[in-house]
Structures are given as structure tokens and as C-alpha cells.
Copies of this chain bind each other. A is one copy, B any other.
Amino acid sequence: MRATVKDVARLAGVSPGTVSNTLSGARNVDAETRRRVEAAVAQLGYVPNLAARRFRTGVSNTIAVMTSMSPAVSAGSSRLGFLMEVAASAAVSALEHNATLVLVPPVADPAAALRNVAMDGAILIEPSEDDPFLELLLRRGVPVVIIGDPPRDGLAWIDMHYRATANMLVGHLLEQGARCVPLMIGASARRSYAEAEAAYRGLLQAEGLEAHVIRIPEALGEDAAHQAMLGLLKDLPALDGVFVPVDAFATGVMRALRDAGRAVPDDVKVATRYDGLRAREERPAITASNLHLDRIAALAVDRLVQLVAGTAAPLRIDGPLPTLVPRGSTLSSTLRS
């Protein structure tokens, strides 16, 4: 026979309500009572009947994390990217709130991905302007926190400082001496691209330089960026730098430069946004920005817990500012060591 909450209460010498309060993480339980309840739980091997509690309360104590970014860009063969870095930190933060983290993988059919997921709230990473996950979540009435600029008003979000990030990276390319620097971004409508483009155009205009913006469908991934870069090298013989915020595209760009016999960084300097495995593994490694995703994830979980509890808070939460991670793709070898 499985132990019940009454068995735990009897052994601990408290009421069943106190047992429930203790296990649900309520704050008004004193340390000594908590210790007695936890000892009784351990001794009896008590496990709460979660399905019954969830049915009764409507609370599943679950947070889901997802991104609509194409798997061609968000995952890659090693599957170690932005999404997983956020998910790992969010899982730890969720646990601190007595919640569990469900990982919704990036797949072609968001409706199928969400259909069997019970959740109290969702963290949506960098949604597109007509994000399918966002539509589904809002239709279900699930509280949502967006990581990055939200595609519409009225949503809670963590500001990752898109424009400051792009300013920092494009500014760095110009400081390192690049004068003909195209921007290569994804073709979908995303606030991160729009902000990167605005920052890029502003900086180039201020320097009297010509802007060149290339858009690549995300689903085509690295290979499309490789092809596009080969074309750019033909069209812009003076090209001596490129800003490629999407790291999967940056890998394709580096391959194109090798194929075309152009040296990085001496002939062409390359910078990307996310300092993930792709940026670190290239030879030379690619200059990027530390986005402090662990702190971003923790802020998103904290905000989501507030939302689910109905606690008032401003919609925009200020995230940490990114920091530059300069590497061999922009620093000439004399500067590096």
C-alpha cells in the first residue's frame, strides 16, 4: 500500500494540511515542522498523487521551454545550442520554484508538439512576428514570457538588448579596419533581425559606408549561407568583413571563405552573435558575444512564476548586457598573443 498524506501527518505529528503546505513549498511553515514532515516523507517513501492534485487544483507545476527557430539553425547535428543552454539553466531555476521543466523540441508541427504538453506557463525563445507557438499558447490562455523583443504589445519579455549587441559587434568589425561589411540575416520576420539591421545601417551610414543586407531562409541553414557568401565574394570584390548574427550561417560563411581562398581575418573579418559551439569550434574561432543566457533563463523563469501567480510586474524585464568575446576571426595574429 502506498503511504498517504494522512500517514505522513500522523508520523510527523502535524495536520494533513501542514503536510501539503510543506510539500508545496509554502513559506509559512517553520523550519522544525518542515524537518519533521520531510523526515516522515522519507521514512514512508511518500509520493504525492500528482495527477489527483493537478486535477483538483488545475496547476501542473510545469514550465515549458520552446523556440520556433528552424532546427536547421537552432539545433544542428550536435544539438547543443541556444535552446539547450537556456533549457539547462531554466531547469535549475524551475526546480527552485518547485516546478519542472518540459523541453519542447523544435519540430515542423508546433501544434503536435504542444498538444500533449500540460503546463502552467511557457518560455518562448526569440519568436518570429507570426510565431506559431505564440499563437497556440495565447489561444490556450497559457501565460508566456518571451526571451528577446516580443512581436506584439502586452506580452512579458526579457530584454536581451538586440540593438546594443549588434552595435557592439558591427562596431568591432569597423574598429578592426573592415570597410566593406555586408550583413547576413535570416529571411523570417524576427525582431532580432530588424534590430540588428537597424544598428548595422546606422553605424555604416555614420561612417559613410555602403550597406548590403542579405537574407537567407533559416530552413536552408548552413549550406544556403555558404552559397550566398560565394555569390557575395563575386559581387563585392572589396568585401573585407561580414556580420552574420545566426551562428549556423556563420559556419557556412567560414566554409565559403576557405573555398574561395580568402584568409580570415587578414582578408575578411567575421563576427556572429551567439557564442556557442559553432563559434568556438571554427578555425579561427569566431568573434561573438556572451549573451549571459544562464541569467536570462533565470530571469524568464522568475517572471513566469510571477505571471502564473498573478503578481504584478512591468512587462519588460531588463536582461544583462552582452559582452564582446573577441577571437581569431577578427583579431589579426599580431594582436592575439
Given known pairs A51-B58, A54-B51, the reply for A91 and B104 (CB within 8 Å) is yes
Given known pairs A23-B115, A51-B118, A118-B51, the reply for A88 and B84 (CB within 8 Å) is yes
A320 smallest CB distance to B (angstroms): 15
**Is A268 engaged at the interface, CB distance under 8 Å to the other chain?**
no
Given known pairs A111-B42, A116-B50, A277-B80, the reply for A100 and B104 (CB within 8 Å) is yes
**Is A78 engaged at the interface, CB distance under 8 Å to the other chain?**
yes
Q: Are A79 and B85 in contact (CB under 8 A)?
A: yes
Q: Are A91 and B118 in contact (CB under 8 A)?
A: no
**Is A99 engaged at the interface, CB distance under 8 Å to the other chain?**
yes
Most B Cβ at <10 Å: residue of A61, A77, A116:
A116
Q: Are B91 and A103 in contact (CB under 8 A)?
A: yes
The number of residues on chain A lying at the interface, defined by a beta carbon within 8 Å of a beta carbon of chain B, is: 52
**Is A232 engaged at the interface, CB distance under 8 Å to the other chain?**
no
Provide the bound-state CA to CA distance between A188 and B233, in Å. Answer: 55
A123 smallest CB distance to B (angstroms): 13
Residues of B within 8 A of A95 (CB): 104-105, 107, 112-113
Provide the bound-state CA to CA distance between A61 and B119, in Å. Answer: 13
**Is A140 engaged at the interface, CB distance under 8 Å to the other chain?**
yes
Q: Are A80 and B85 in contact (CB under 8 A)?
A: yes
Q: Are A294 and B79 in contact (CB under 8 A)?
A: yes
Residues of B within 8 A of A115 (CB): 23, 47-48, 98
Closest B-chain residue to A59, C-beta based?
B51
Contacting residue for A103 out of B47, B58, B61, B101, CB 8 A:
B101
Most B Cβ at <10 Å: residue of A50, A54, A103:
A103
Taken residue by residue from 29 to 48, chain A's Cβ proximity to chain B (1 for < 8 Å, 0 otherwise) reads as: 00000000000011001011
Closest 10 CB pairs of A and B: A79-B88, A55-B55, A50-B118, A91-B105, A91-B103, A92-B105, A51-B54, A51-B55, A84-B84, A100-B117
Could you show 13 A-B contacts with beta carbons less than 8 Å apart?
A45-B140, A48-B116, A51-B118, A61-B116, A75-B88, A78-B85, A80-B84, A80-B85, A91-B104, A98-B116, A100-B104, A101-B102, A101-B105
